[in-house]
Amino acid sequence: VGMTMTGVLEDRSAWSATGWCPVEKAMGIVGSRPAMLILREAFYGTTRFDDFVQRVAIAPATAASHLRVLEEAGLLERRSYQEPGARRREEYHLTESGTDFLPVMLALFQWGRRHTDTNPPITFSHTGCDAPVSTSVRCDAGHEVGLADISAALDC
Amino acid sequence: VGMTMTGVLEDRSAWSATGWCPVEKAMGIVGSRPAMLILREAFYGTTRFDDFVQRVAIAPATAASHLRVLEEAGLLERRSYQEPGARRREEYHLTESGTDFLPVMLALFQWGRRHTDTNPPITFSHTGCDAPVSTSVRCDAGHEVGLADISAALDC
DNA sequence: CAGGATCCCTAAGGATACTG
DNA sequence: CAGTATCCTTAGGGATCCTG
Protein backbone atom coordinates (compact mmCIF):
# COMPACT_ATOMS: atom_id res chain seq x y z
CA VAL A 1 0.00 0.00 0.00
CA GLY A 2 1.75 3.15 -1.13
CA MET A 3 0.44 6.65 -1.38
CA THR A 4 1.81 10.11 -1.27
CA MET A 5 2.94 11.15 2.15
CA THR A 6 0.23 13.72 2.24
CA GLY A 7 -2.59 11.27 2.49
CA VAL A 8 -1.28 8.17 4.19
CA LEU A 9 -2.60 9.37 7.48
CA GLU A 10 -6.17 8.58 6.69
CA ASP A 11 -5.26 4.92 6.76
CA ARG A 12 -4.39 4.78 10.39
CA SER A 13 -6.52 6.09 13.17
CA ALA A 14 -4.81 8.08 15.85
CA TRP A 15 -1.41 6.54 15.85
CA SER A 16 -0.34 9.07 18.35
CA ALA A 17 -2.49 7.33 20.87
CA THR A 18 -0.69 4.06 20.32
CA GLY A 19 2.64 5.57 21.29
CA TRP A 20 4.06 4.23 18.07
CA CYS A 21 5.51 7.41 16.78
CA PRO A 22 9.27 7.77 16.99
CA VAL A 23 8.93 11.53 16.74
CA GLU A 24 6.80 11.55 19.84
CA LYS A 25 9.21 9.35 21.71
CA ALA A 26 12.13 11.49 20.66
CA MET A 27 10.33 14.62 21.78
CA GLY A 28 9.91 13.08 25.21
CA ILE A 29 13.68 13.01 25.50
CA VAL A 30 15.00 16.05 23.66
CA GLY A 31 11.80 18.03 23.26
CA SER A 32 12.61 20.82 25.65
CA ARG A 33 14.79 23.84 25.42
CA PRO A 34 17.23 22.77 28.12
CA ALA A 35 17.64 19.25 26.75
CA MET A 36 18.18 20.38 23.19
CA LEU A 37 20.61 23.10 24.15
CA ILE A 38 22.57 20.77 26.41
CA LEU A 39 22.85 18.51 23.42
CA ARG A 40 23.91 21.41 21.25
CA GLU A 41 26.65 22.18 23.74
CA ALA A 42 27.71 18.56 23.73
CA PHE A 43 28.14 18.77 19.97
CA TYR A 44 30.28 21.85 20.46
CA GLY A 45 32.48 19.89 22.77
CA THR A 46 31.21 20.80 26.21
CA THR A 47 31.62 18.00 28.72
CA ARG A 48 31.64 19.59 32.15
CA PHE A 49 28.66 20.17 34.37
CA ASP A 50 29.42 23.77 35.14
CA ASP A 51 30.04 24.57 31.51
CA PHE A 52 26.63 23.22 30.61
CA VAL A 53 25.09 25.32 33.34
CA GLN A 54 26.77 28.50 32.18
CA ARG A 55 26.66 28.10 28.45
CA VAL A 56 23.06 26.99 28.33
CA ALA A 57 22.26 29.43 31.09
CA ILE A 58 20.16 27.12 33.19
CA ALA A 59 19.89 26.31 36.85
CA PRO A 60 22.11 23.53 38.22
CA ALA A 61 19.08 21.48 39.12
CA THR A 62 17.74 21.74 35.60
CA ALA A 63 21.09 20.74 34.18
CA ALA A 64 21.40 17.78 36.51
CA SER A 65 17.90 16.64 35.70
CA HIS A 66 18.26 16.80 31.93
CA LEU A 67 21.77 15.41 31.93
CA ARG A 68 20.41 12.43 33.76
CA VAL A 69 17.56 12.00 31.28
CA LEU A 70 19.94 12.24 28.35
CA GLU A 71 22.25 9.78 30.02
CA GLU A 72 19.47 7.32 30.71
CA ALA A 73 18.19 7.71 27.19
CA GLY A 74 21.65 6.77 26.02
CA LEU A 75 22.69 9.97 24.28
CA LEU A 76 25.28 10.95 26.83
CA GLU A 77 27.54 8.86 28.95
CA ARG A 78 29.06 9.93 32.21
CA ARG A 79 32.73 9.36 32.67
CA SER A 80 34.61 9.69 35.89
CA TYR A 81 38.24 10.31 35.33
CA GLN A 82 41.15 11.28 37.45
CA GLU A 83 44.25 13.00 36.29
CA PRO A 84 47.24 11.99 38.35
CA GLY A 85 47.60 14.39 41.20
CA ALA A 86 44.23 15.98 40.58
CA ARG A 87 40.96 15.03 42.11
CA ARG A 88 38.18 13.09 40.53
CA ARG A 89 36.06 14.73 37.86
CA GLU A 90 32.97 13.93 35.91
CA GLU A 91 32.45 14.39 32.23
CA TYR A 92 29.57 13.91 29.87
CA HIS A 93 30.34 12.58 26.44
CA LEU A 94 28.21 11.89 23.43
CA THR A 95 27.58 8.23 22.81
CA GLU A 96 27.02 6.71 19.40
CA SER A 97 23.32 7.35 19.86
CA GLY A 98 24.17 10.91 20.74
CA THR A 99 26.37 11.58 17.75
CA ASP A 100 23.69 9.94 15.66
CA PHE A 101 21.54 12.86 16.62
CA LEU A 102 23.69 15.15 14.51
CA PRO A 103 21.36 15.22 11.49
CA VAL A 104 18.52 16.47 13.68
CA MET A 105 20.66 19.12 15.29
CA LEU A 106 22.12 20.35 12.06
CA ALA A 107 18.76 20.32 10.32
CA LEU A 108 17.29 22.33 13.15
CA PHE A 109 20.20 24.75 12.99
CA GLN A 110 19.74 25.23 9.30
CA TRP A 111 16.03 25.66 9.50
CA GLY A 112 16.40 28.23 12.26
CA ARG A 113 19.01 30.14 10.35
CA ARG A 114 16.90 30.24 7.24
CA HIS A 115 13.53 30.95 8.77
CA THR A 116 14.17 32.98 11.87
CA ASP A 117 16.12 36.17 12.38
CA THR A 118 19.15 34.42 13.80
CA ASN A 119 22.11 34.14 11.52
CA PRO A 120 25.30 33.55 13.45
CA PRO A 121 28.53 34.02 11.50
CA ILE A 122 29.54 30.41 11.64
CA THR A 123 30.12 27.90 8.90
CA PHE A 124 30.36 24.16 9.16
CA SER A 125 32.51 22.51 6.58
CA HIS A 126 33.92 19.16 5.73
CA THR A 127 37.45 18.79 7.07
CA GLY A 128 39.89 18.38 4.24
CA CYS A 129 37.37 18.88 1.49
CA ASP A 130 36.42 22.24 3.00
CA ALA A 131 33.01 22.27 1.36
CA PRO A 132 30.14 23.48 3.53
CA VAL A 133 28.12 20.83 5.28
CA SER A 134 24.36 20.54 5.41
CA THR A 135 21.59 18.04 5.89
CA SER A 136 19.49 16.83 3.05
CA VAL A 137 16.68 14.43 2.33
CA ARG A 138 17.66 11.86 -0.23
CA CYS A 139 16.64 8.48 -1.47
CA ASP A 140 19.10 5.62 -1.53
CA ALA A 141 19.61 6.26 -5.22
CA GLY A 142 21.02 9.64 -4.28
CA HIS A 143 18.26 11.90 -5.52
CA GLU A 144 17.42 14.84 -3.36
CA VAL A 145 13.70 14.72 -2.71
CA GLY A 146 11.06 17.09 -1.44
CA LEU A 147 7.87 16.41 0.44
CA ALA A 148 5.82 16.02 -2.71
CA ASP A 149 8.03 13.23 -3.97
CA ILE A 150 7.84 11.08 -0.92
CA SER A 151 5.38 8.24 -0.66
CA ALA A 152 4.61 6.45 2.56
CA ALA A 153 3.95 2.74 2.54
CA LEU A 154 2.51 0.75 5.41
CA ASP A 155 4.29 -2.58 5.60
CA CYS A 156 1.35 -4.71 6.50
CA VAL B 1 39.58 30.53 12.00
CA GLY B 2 38.67 26.89 11.61
CA MET B 3 38.75 24.12 14.11
CA THR B 4 37.02 20.85 14.67
CA MET B 5 33.43 21.23 15.70
CA THR B 6 34.28 19.75 19.03
CA GLY B 7 36.31 22.68 20.21
CA VAL B 8 34.98 25.76 18.48
CA LEU B 9 32.88 26.58 21.47
CA GLU B 10 35.75 27.82 23.57
CA ASP B 11 36.08 30.74 21.17
CA ARG B 12 32.78 32.30 21.96
CA SER B 13 31.50 32.99 25.41
CA ALA B 14 27.95 32.02 26.16
CA TRP B 15 26.39 32.49 22.79
CA SER B 16 23.17 31.20 24.18
CA ALA B 17 22.87 34.38 26.15
CA THR B 18 23.10 36.44 23.01
CA GLY B 19 20.07 34.78 21.53
CA TRP B 20 22.12 34.07 18.46
CA CYS B 21 21.51 30.41 18.22
CA PRO B 22 19.09 29.25 15.53
CA VAL B 23 18.53 26.02 17.40
CA GLU B 24 17.34 27.96 20.39
CA LYS B 25 15.04 30.09 18.30
CA ALA B 26 13.67 27.04 16.54
CA MET B 27 13.02 25.34 19.86
CA GLY B 28 10.98 28.31 20.93
CA ILE B 29 8.60 27.57 18.10
CA VAL B 30 8.51 23.82 17.67
CA GLY B 31 10.15 22.77 20.91
CA SER B 32 7.13 21.26 22.55
CA ARG B 33 5.31 18.03 22.12
CA PRO B 34 2.06 19.55 20.84
CA ALA B 35 3.78 21.82 18.35
CA MET B 36 6.00 19.11 16.94
CA LEU B 37 3.17 16.60 16.68
CA ILE B 38 0.88 19.13 15.04
CA LEU B 39 3.62 19.63 12.53
CA ARG B 40 4.00 15.90 12.10
CA GLU B 41 0.30 15.69 11.35
CA ALA B 42 0.61 18.52 8.87
CA PHE B 43 3.25 16.50 7.04
CA TYR B 44 0.88 13.57 6.98
CA GLY B 45 -1.70 15.76 5.35
CA THR B 46 -3.89 16.85 8.20
CA THR B 47 -5.39 20.27 7.66
CA ARG B 48 -8.51 20.49 9.84
CA PHE B 49 -8.68 21.76 13.38
CA ASP B 50 -10.60 18.83 14.74
CA ASP B 51 -8.31 16.33 13.08
CA PHE B 52 -5.34 17.94 14.76
CA VAL B 53 -7.13 17.78 18.07
CA GLN B 54 -7.97 14.12 17.72
CA ARG B 55 -4.87 12.79 16.05
CA VAL B 56 -2.46 14.60 18.32
CA ALA B 57 -4.78 13.97 21.24
CA ILE B 58 -4.66 17.44 22.71
CA ALA B 59 -7.19 19.88 24.09
CA PRO B 60 -8.81 22.32 21.64
CA ALA B 61 -7.27 25.23 23.47
CA THR B 62 -3.83 23.72 23.14
CA ALA B 63 -4.37 23.08 19.46
CA ALA B 64 -5.62 26.59 18.85
CA SER B 65 -2.72 28.07 20.75
CA HIS B 66 -0.02 26.12 18.94
CA LEU B 67 -1.66 26.45 15.56
CA ARG B 68 -1.56 30.16 16.05
CA VAL B 69 2.10 30.11 17.04
CA LEU B 70 2.98 27.97 14.05
CA GLU B 71 0.99 30.27 11.83
CA GLU B 72 2.65 33.38 13.19
CA ALA B 73 6.04 31.75 12.87
CA GLY B 74 5.21 31.15 9.24
CA LEU B 75 5.18 27.35 9.15
CA LEU B 76 1.46 27.04 8.63
CA GLU B 77 -0.95 29.23 6.79
CA ARG B 78 -4.64 29.43 7.48
CA ARG B 79 -6.95 29.21 4.56
CA SER B 80 -10.61 29.94 4.67
CA TYR B 81 -12.47 28.22 1.93
CA GLN B 82 -16.07 27.67 1.12
CA GLU B 83 -17.43 24.87 -0.95
CA PRO B 84 -20.55 25.95 -2.82
CA GLY B 85 -23.54 25.16 -0.70
CA ALA B 86 -21.48 24.40 2.36
CA ARG B 87 -20.47 26.76 5.05
CA ARG B 88 -17.12 28.32 5.59
CA ARG B 89 -14.24 26.20 6.81
CA GLU B 90 -10.70 26.74 7.94
CA GLU B 91 -7.70 24.77 6.90
CA TYR B 92 -4.08 24.82 7.91
CA HIS B 93 -1.51 24.20 5.25
CA LEU B 94 2.23 23.94 5.31
CA THR B 95 3.98 26.96 3.88
CA GLU B 96 7.34 26.84 2.20
CA SER B 97 8.94 27.43 5.57
CA GLY B 98 6.85 24.58 6.88
CA THR B 99 7.80 22.08 4.22
CA ASP B 100 11.36 23.20 4.68
CA PHE B 101 11.11 21.68 8.10
CA LEU B 102 10.97 18.22 6.55
CA PRO B 103 14.65 17.37 7.14
CA VAL B 104 14.23 18.01 10.84
CA MET B 105 11.09 15.95 11.07
CA LEU B 106 12.48 13.06 9.10
CA ALA B 107 15.77 13.12 10.97
CA LEU B 108 13.88 13.06 14.24
CA PHE B 109 11.74 10.20 12.99
CA GLN B 110 14.77 8.21 11.99
CA TRP B 111 16.63 8.86 15.19
CA GLY B 112 13.62 7.83 17.23
CA ARG B 113 13.15 4.68 15.24
CA ARG B 114 16.77 3.72 15.61
CA HIS B 115 17.30 4.64 19.21
CA THR B 116 14.01 4.15 20.95
CA ASP B 117 11.70 1.18 21.11
CA THR B 118 9.30 2.57 18.55
CA ASN B 119 9.45 1.02 15.13
CA PRO B 120 6.26 1.61 13.19
CA PRO B 121 5.80 -0.48 10.05
CA ILE B 122 6.04 2.41 7.68
CA THR B 123 8.48 3.16 4.92
CA PHE B 124 9.08 6.43 3.14
CA SER B 125 10.28 6.13 -0.39
CA HIS B 126 11.00 8.25 -3.40
CA THR B 127 8.03 8.30 -5.74
CA GLY B 128 8.98 6.78 -9.05
CA CYS B 129 12.43 5.71 -8.02
CA ASP B 130 10.94 3.74 -5.12
CA ALA B 131 14.15 3.81 -3.12
CA PRO B 132 13.78 4.48 0.60
CA VAL B 133 14.23 8.04 1.73
CA SER B 134 16.37 9.25 4.59
CA THR B 135 18.22 12.30 5.86
CA SER B 136 21.96 12.56 5.76
CA VAL B 137 24.69 15.01 6.55
CA ARG B 138 26.77 15.83 3.52
CA CYS B 139 29.15 18.41 2.26
CA ASP B 140 28.50 20.20 -1.00
CA ALA B 141 30.95 17.86 -2.69
CA GLY B 142 28.59 15.04 -1.86
CA HIS B 143 30.57 13.25 0.82
CA GLU B 144 28.63 11.91 3.74
CA VAL B 145 30.28 13.25 6.87
CA GLY B 146 30.20 12.46 10.55
CA LEU B 147 30.70 14.72 13.52
CA ALA B 148 34.43 14.13 13.63
CA ASP B 149 34.86 15.37 10.07
CA ILE B 150 33.11 18.67 10.54
CA SER B 151 34.99 21.82 11.27
CA ALA B 152 33.36 25.01 12.43
CA ALA B 153 34.67 28.35 11.25
CA LEU B 154 33.74 31.70 12.66
CA ASP B 155 33.40 34.19 9.83
CA CYS B 156 34.92 37.15 11.52
C1' DC C 1 -17.06 22.35 12.64
C1' DA C 2 -13.74 25.76 14.39
C1' DG C 3 -12.56 27.57 17.86
C1' DG C 4 -12.95 31.12 22.41
C1' DA C 5 -13.50 31.45 27.58
C1' DT C 6 -12.78 29.64 31.96
C1' DC C 7 -10.95 26.95 35.58
C1' DC C 8 -7.74 24.34 37.59
C1' DC C 9 -3.53 22.12 38.44
C1' DT C 10 0.84 20.12 38.15
C1' DA C 11 5.30 19.88 36.50
C1' DA C 12 9.14 22.65 34.72
C1' DG C 13 12.39 25.66 35.71
C1' DG C 14 14.72 30.02 37.92
C1' DA C 15 17.10 31.70 42.21
C1' DT C 16 19.62 30.81 46.06
C1' DA C 17 22.08 28.29 49.37
C1' DC C 18 24.55 24.40 50.85
C1' DT C 19 27.73 19.95 50.59
C1' DG C 20 31.26 16.31 49.37
C1' DC D 1 33.90 21.24 40.59
C1' DA D 2 29.78 18.57 40.63
C1' DG D 3 26.16 18.40 42.14
C1' DT D 4 21.72 18.31 46.04
C1' DA D 5 18.09 20.72 48.66
C1' DT D 6 14.63 24.10 49.13
C1' DC D 7 11.53 27.54 47.75
C1' DC D 8 8.86 29.82 44.69
C1' DT D 9 6.66 31.28 40.37
C1' DT D 10 4.62 30.75 36.02
C1' DA D 11 3.39 28.83 31.89
C1' DG D 12 1.65 24.69 29.72
C1' DG D 13 -1.88 22.06 29.10
C1' DG D 14 -6.08 19.03 30.35
C1' DA D 15 -11.14 19.23 31.12
C1' DT D 16 -15.36 21.33 30.43
C1' DC D 17 -18.65 24.35 28.52
C1' DC D 18 -20.07 27.64 25.32
C1' DT D 19 -20.63 30.10 20.62
C1' DG D 20 -20.72 31.71 15.59
Looking at the predicted structure, is the pLDDT value of residue B154 above 50?
yes
What is the spatial distance, in angstroms and rounded to an integer, between the CA atom of B68 and the C1' atom of D12? Answer: 15
Contact B9 A108 (CB under 8 A): no
B57 φ/ψ sector (left φ>0, alpha ψ -120 to 50, else beta): left
Beta strand spans in A18-149 (E)? 76-81, 89-94, 122-126, 133-139
Name the DSSP class of B148.
Answer: G
Q: Which residues contact B68 (CB under 8 A, 6 or more apart)?
A: none
What confidence tens digit (pLDDT) does each residue in B90-134 have?
899 999 999 999 999 999 999 999 999 999 999 999 998 999 999
Q: Do residue B5 and residue A45 have CB atoms under 8 angstroms apart?
A: yes
Q: How confident is the model at residue B14 (pLDDT cuts 50, 70, 90)?
A: very low
Identify nearest nucleotide to residue A78 by CA to C1′ distance: D2
pLDDT tens sequence across A21-69: 999 999 999 999 999 999 999 999 999 999 999 999 999 999 999 999 9
Rounded (5°) CA angle B65-B66-B70: 125
Shortest distance, CA A79 to any CA of chain B (angstroms): 17
Distance A56 CA to C16 C1' (A): 18
Distance CA A65, CA B125 (A): 38
pTM of structure: 0.92
